[in-house]
Chains A and B, each alone.
Chain A
Amino acid sequence: MDENKVIICRCEDVTLAEIRNLIKQGFTTVEEIKRLVRSGMGPCQGKTCGLLIAREIAEITNTSIEKIEIQNMRPPYGGVTFEEVIAGDTIEE
C-alpha cells in the first residue's frame, strides 16, 4: 500500500504516511497532530479523519482506542461567514 496515496483528512490533504510519521516521532494525541498538520481543522471539523487518526495512534502506540482523546470541539459547528454573523443582531461579544 502506498501510504502517500491514502488520504486521512481530505480537507487538508493529510496522508496516512504523514500521520504515521508524526506518531512515530512521538506526537500521540489527536490534538497535537491536528496542530501540526491541521487535520480536522478544515471545513468538516474532523468528522471523517478523527476516528481514523485515533485508530492509528492506538495501533502504533499499542494502547486501547478508548484511552485516546479525540479533539475538542469549539463552536461554531459547521462554519459561518462574517456576513451571517452580522446579519443576526443578537450576537454579543
Chain B
Amino acid sequence: MNNIEKAELIVVGGGPAGLSAALAAADYGVNVILVEEREFLGGQLVKQTHRFFGSEKEYAGTRGIDISKFLVEKIKENENIKILTSSRVLGIYNDKIVTILANNKMIKYSPKALILATGASEKFLAFENNDLPGVFGAGAVQTLMNLYGVLPSKKILMVGSGNIGLIVSYQLLQAGVKVACIIEAAPRIGGYSVHASKLARMGVPILTSHTIKKAVGKDKVEGAIICQLDSSWREIKDTEQFIKCDAICLSVGLSPLTDLLKQANVKTSYVPELGGYIPLRDENMETSIKNLFVAGDVSGIEEATSAIIEGQIAGLNVAKRIKKDIDNQVKIEKKIAEAKDELELLRAGPVGEKVRNGLKKIGLDPLKNYGEKVSTEEFDISFLMKTGIPSKENLKKKLPLSEDVFNKGPIAISECFQQFPCDPCVKSCPFDAISENGSINNIPYVNFEKCTGCGICVSKCPGLAMFVVQKNYTDSTSLVTLPYEFLPKPVKNQIVLVLNREGTEICEGTVKRVRDGKIQDKTTVVTIEIPKEYFLEARNIKVDGGQKHG
C-alpha cells in the first residue's frame, strides 16, 4: 500500500557469491542493495583461517579471512552499493516484493531484479543423544574458535571427512584442540587428499567405513560410541568402540538454504549431488521466476571459487538487462562468456563429476563449450584416499627419474596426487617451474631443470603439499624445507623432532633456517638438517612447548 521503495537490484547474502554479484552489477552502474543478516559481510569466508584451494584468479592461495577483507573493501569503495548488515530478508512475495528486517524495523522494497546468495545450512545426523550439549555442527565449532576465540573442546571427535571436516580438524589442531579421530561412513575420504595428508602427518587417525552410534554423557558429551560399517553401510557386529572426548563435531554435508526461494515459489528439485533441494535455474543463474537469480551454495553446494564466478554471472546478467546501451552490452556479453568458460574449466576434472551429474539433472550442460574429454584419475590413489598417506608408487611418480637431479642442489617436490581444481602452486613460482599442463584440474609437476629450490611455493600451496629437498647438504645430512603453521614457531639452531607422513617420529633435526615474513604470511617455511636416509620421509616437525590456553 504505502512506502514500498523502488530499487534496481537487491542481493541477499554477503558471502563470496553475494559480494561478487554485487560488484559485478555495480561496476556497470547498477544500483545495488546488499542485504546480510549478520553484523558483518563475508559469509563463510570470515571463519576460514586456511588458504583457499581453487583458482588463484579467484583468490585461491589466500586465507579465507583475507579474501573476505579484500572483497568487502571493494564493496565499501563502490558508490553504487548500499550495504544493509544486521538485516534479514524475511520474505519474498509475489512480484518480487522483498521484506527486510533491518535493525528491528521492517522495510519493503520492490526491486527490478533479485539475486539470492543465501548459502547453505548444515545437515544433521540421527544417532542416540544427538542433541547432547557438546555435539556441534562444524560451523559452530568454527564460530566459537575463529570468531570468538573460545576453545570449543580439549579433545574432539570429528564425524565426516569431506573438505569441511578435514579443514576444520586442522583448524582445531591449530587452536590447540586434540582431534581424537576423524570418522567417515564411506569407504573413502570425502575431501581432497592434500587436506587429509596434513592431518595424517599430525598423527590424526582417519577411520573410513565408521560411523557414530551414540553420544555418551549426562549433561555434556563425555565420549562417543563408534562402530564399523560394511560395504552396504550396515553396522558390523562387535566393532563398537568407545572414544573419549568432550565434544563431537558433525560435518556431514551442507544443504542449500532455499527457504526464501520456496516462499517465492521458485521451482526446486531434489538433487543429492548438489546437496538436496536446489532451485532450477539456467546457465545465466536465472530461476523459474524472471529476474530472480541465484548464486553460490544456495544454487547447489560447491566451492568459493565457483560461488564467486556464479555471482559474477548473475550480476552481469542483471547489468545487461538494466543498462541497455550498446557499448555496455558487448562488454558484458564478453565477460559473461569468459566467466562461463572459467566455471566449465573448474568443473571439468574427476572431482567435478558429482557436480556435473547434478547439473545435468536440472537440464544444464556443464561442459557446453569445454567439450574436451574429461580427464580420469591418473594415479591409483585408493590407499591415499583411505588413510591420507600417499603410497610408495604415488610418491615415485612425482620424484625425478634420475638420482642425478638431486646432485644439482635444492629442488621442489610436489606431493599432490589428485586431480582437483587448484593452481596457486603454478601461479606462485617465480621461475615458471610448476606446470599443470594447461588445466587447473591436472596434477602439478615440477620441472626440475627450471626449479631453483627457492621455496616460494612452499608457503603458497593451500594443501601444504610443496617441499624442497637438498639431498647432499653434507656427506651425511640432507636439508628438507617444509611448511609449518603451529605455535611455538621453531628458531634457528633449535633441535626439533622430525615426523614422517604418518605422523610417526623418525629422527631429530636441526633448524637451519626459518622464513616467516610477509610473503610467507604465517605459513612459516622451516628448513631442517636431518640424516640423509630420511630426506624423502621427513615431512613434519614437532617443536617443544605446545600452545597454552587460559
Q: Given the known inter-chain contacts A51-B123, A85-B106, please indicate yes or no for A76 contacting B99, CB distance below 8 A.
A: yes
In the complex, are the beta carbons of A88 and B106 less than 8 A apart? Answer: yes
Q: Tell me if B425 counts as interface (CB < 8 A to partner A).
A: no
| A 1-43 contacts with B by CB, 8 A | 1-2, 5-8, 10, 16
Query: Which residue of A70, A77, A88 is within 8 Å of B89 (Cβ)?
Result: A77
In the complex, are the beta carbons of A90 and B108 less than 8 A apart? Answer: yes
In the complex, are the beta carbons of B129 and A87 less than 8 A apart? Answer: no
User: Once the chains are docked, how many angstroms separate the CA of A72 from the CA of B262?
Assistant: 7
Q: Given the known inter-chain contacts A1-B213, A65-B272, A76-B90, please indicate yes or no for A45 contacting B259, CB distance below 8 A.
A: yes
| B 272-291 contacts with A by CB, 8 A | 272, 276-277
In the complex, are the beta carbons of A87 and B90 less than 8 A apart? Answer: no
Give A64's nearest chain B residue, CB to CB: B270
Interface centre among B88, B104, B259 (most CB of A within 10 A): B259
- Taking CB atoms, residues of chain B closer than 8 Å to A8 are 126
Give A87's nearest chain B residue, CB to CB: B105
Q: Tell me if A61 counts as interface (CB < 8 A to partner B).
A: no
Q: Given the known inter-chain contacts A52-B124, A90-B106, please indicate yes or no for A77 contacting B130, CB distance below 8 A.
A: no
In the complex, are the beta carbons of B1 and A92 less than 8 A apart? Answer: yes
- Taking CB atoms, residues of chain A closer than 8 Å to B272 are 65
In the complex, are the beta carbons of A78 and B90 less than 8 A apart? Answer: yes
> Could you tell me the distance in whole angstroms from the C-beta of B150 to the nearest C-beta in chain A?
22
Give A19's nearest chain B residue, CB to CB: B126
Q: Tell me if B493 counts as interface (CB < 8 A to partner A).
A: no
In the complex, are the beta carbons of B99 and A1 less than 8 A apart? Answer: no
Q: Tell me if B65 counts as interface (CB < 8 A to partner A).
A: no
> Could you tell me the distance in whole angstroms from the C-beta of A17 to the nearest C-beta in chain B?
11
> Could you tell me the distance in whole angstroms from the C-beta of B401 to the nearest C-beta in chain A?
50
Give A55's nearest chain B residue, CB to CB: B126
In the complex, are the beta carbons of B126 and A74 less than 8 A apart? Answer: no
Give B268's nearest chain A residue, CB to CB: A70
In the complex, are the beta carbons of B126 and A16 less than 8 A apart? Answer: yes
Give B100's nearest chain A residue, CB to CB: A88
Using an 8 Å CB-CB cutoff, how does the interface string of A53-88 with B read, 1 for contact, 0 for none? 000000000000110101011111110100111011
- Taking CB atoms, residues of chain B closer than 8 Å to A5 are 128-129
Give B5's nearest chain A residue, CB to CB: A90
- Taking CB atoms, residues of chain B closer than 8 Å to A88 are 105-108
- Taking CB atoms, residues of chain B closer than 8 Å to A7 are 130-131
| B 116-136 contacts with A by CB, 8 A | 121, 123-124, 126-131
Query: Which residue of B101, B257, B276 is within 8 Å of A51 (Cβ)?
Result: B276
| B 229-271 contacts with A by CB, 8 A | 255, 257, 259-260, 262-263, 269-270
In the complex, are the beta carbons of B106 and A91 less than 8 A apart? Answer: yes
User: Once the chains are docked, how many angstroms separate the CA of A72 from the CA of B131?
Assistant: 25
Using an 8 Å CB-CB cutoff, how does the interface string of B22-49 with A read, 1 for contact, 0 for none? 0000000000000001000000000000
Q: Given the known inter-chain contacts A77-B89, A78-B90, A90-B2, please indicate yes or no for A6 contacting B127, CB distance below 8 A.
A: yes
Q: Tell me if B92 counts as interface (CB < 8 A to partner A).
A: yes
Query: Which residue of B88, B128, B262 is within 8 Å of A2 (Cβ)?
Result: B128
In the complex, are the beta carbons of A75 and B277 less than 8 A apart? Answer: no
- Taking CB atoms, residues of chain A closer than 8 Å to B128 are 1-2, 5-6
Give B90's nearest chain A residue, CB to CB: A76
In the complex, are the beta carbons of B259 and A73 less than 8 A apart? Answer: yes
In the complex, are the beta carbons of B107 and A77 less than 8 A apart? Answer: no
Q: Tell me if B4 counts as interface (CB < 8 A to partner A).
A: yes
Q: Tell me if B3 counts as interface (CB < 8 A to partner A).
A: yes
User: Once the chains are docked, how many angstroms separate the CA of A7 from the CA of B108?
Assistant: 38
Q: Tell me if B205 counts as interface (CB < 8 A to partner A).
A: no
In the complex, are the beta carbons of B129 and A90 less than 8 A apart? Answer: no
Query: Which residue of A6, A16, A47, A77 is within 8 Å of B91 (Cβ)?
Result: A77
- Taking CB atoms, residues of chain A closer than 8 Å to B89 are 77
Give A75's nearest chain B residue, CB to CB: B91
> Could you tell me the distance in whole angstroms from the C-beta of A61 to the nearest C-beta in chain B?
15
In the assembled complex, 14 residue pairs joining A and B whose CB atoms fall closer than 8 Å, in A order, are: A1-B127, A7-B130, A7-B131, A51-B255, A66-B269, A73-B263, A76-B90, A76-B101, A77-B90, A83-B104, A87-B106, A88-B106, A90-B3, A92-B1
Nearest 9 interchain pairs by C-beta: A88-B106, A75-B91, A76-B90, A92-B1, A73-B262, A90-B3, A7-B131, A48-B124, A66-B270
16 more A-B residue pairs beyond the given contacts A68-B270, A77-B90, with a C-beta to C-beta distance below 8 A: A1-B127, A1-B214, A5-B128, A7-B131, A45-B259, A49-B124, A51-B123, A51-B124, A66-B269, A74-B263, A77-B88, A78-B101, A84-B104, A87-B104, A87-B105, A90-B107
